[in-house]
Copies of this chain bind each other. A is one copy, B any other.
Amino acid sequence: MALIVQKFGGSSVASLERVRHVAKIVTDTYIAGNDVVVVLSAQGKMTDRLIALANEYNPRASKRELDQLLSIGEQQSVALAAMCIQGMGFPVVSLNAWQVGFKTNTTYGNARIKKIDTERIQMELDQRKIVIFTGFQGINRRGDITTLGRGGSDTSAVALAAALRADLCQIYTDVDGVYTADPNTVEGARKLDEITYDEMLELASLGAKVLHNRSVEMAKHYHVELEVLSSFTGNPGTKVKEVAKRMEHTQVSGVAKDKSIARIALVGIKNEPGIAFRVFSLLSGKKINVDIILQSIGREEWKDIAFTVARKDLNQAVSLLEEYKSVLGYDGIEVNDHIAKVSMVGAGMIGNPGVASGMFEALYNAGININMISTSEIKISVLVDEKDADRAVQVVHTKFFSEYGSQS
């Protein structure tokens, strides 16, 4: 007998029919002899509807009152799901964050989890009840409701799994696992049986929208074994864990692209110590994240610095750099918002020089120009023209994952 935490997102509980399906998954797990704690999001678009409602009443409402309002979405989900499971003849109890003692700090709208009391849940599990818990929300030390921010239900589930020392935390979603590339656009994309936390983190940050980074980071920190799987198909999903078994001959776990970036280049900047620090501390002061950075080798008095930012931050970043032009001392700014980042992720990559060269070879063969390169322990990213991005992902993926591709 194991203790399993199962999390279902908004689309999985959007209707009576969907909730019945969730109830079937949950009770099957229970019948198999497991203790089951279920974490639910609000039904379908309910959170969006509540936000719209709040905007009607006061577009500048305090976050404290907004959290007070939003929390009713998950309360509705858990009560209805509990009723449905009762109707199937199983012992069940729904619990809100305050009933459990799911404690957070006081940052309304984006609270951090501090401590989870497990006494109440443990008591219900001891009575062999299925526990249905509200994701996304907590209470702070003032006794007020907080929410964890969008995607917070994943984090709720992982945190609960950690606090309860659960054997497994299953995140049910509308995809049936983590793929080597986006299966909707990349031919030959395959589902991974296992992946490491670090690989998952890199893939998530690259736009593979399966799990929120925050939940993966927490799972890694507390050694919670995760499984991403579909509530629609019933197939086994992808396990996310410390060390992943690789059935493949390759060390690569996935190829992803990110089109939501832009490149900024500062041309003719003074080649003096501390200049990079001045540029990037200016941007980080305004919460603008910088990704790939390329600095020309300064042989002369002048050099160039290029870097990428999220496309949504582009205008603010450029205004800021222009405002401080005299302080930074550069000749001009060049901006390119028609670029994309293509990345390969794999835990064993760094010790295998063939991986990087294989990637470059595949891109070269396809006639795709590489703009900038960045590498980390488990990732190689290249900047390419936006129009080449999809093709780049395909050729790199084929190179490493297609049986034929790897021989070409």
Mark A residues whose CB is within 8 Å of B.
16, 19, 50, 53-54, 56-58, 60-62, 64-66, 68-69, 71-72, 75-76, 78-80, 82-84, 86-87, 93-94, 96, 98-99, 120, 143-145
Contacts and interface: CB of A to CB of B under 8 A. Distances in A.
Nearest to A56: B16
Contact of A79 (B65, B80, B96): B65
B80 A69 contact: yes
A71 B75 contact: yes
Nearest to A84: B57
A69 B58 contact: no
Given A94-B68, A120-B143, A61 B76 contact: no
Which of A19, A78, A99 has most chain B Cβ within 10 Å? A99
Could you tell me the dominant secondary structure of chain A's interface residues? helix
Q: What's the number of copies of this chain in the assembled complex? A: 2
A61 B58 CA distance: 36
Contact of A78 (B62, B68, B76, B86): B68
B75 A61 contact: no
Contacts of A76: 50, 69, 72
Contacts of A68: 75, 78-79, 82, 94, 96
A57 B365 CA distance: 58
Nearest to A67: B79
Given A56-B16, A57-B16, A57-B87, A82 B99 contact: no
17 contacts: A50-B76, A53-B80, A54-B83, A57-B84, A58-B83, A58-B84, A61-B83, A62-B86, A65-B82, A65-B83, A65-B94, A66-B79, A66-B83, A68-B94, A75-B75, A99-B143, A99-B144
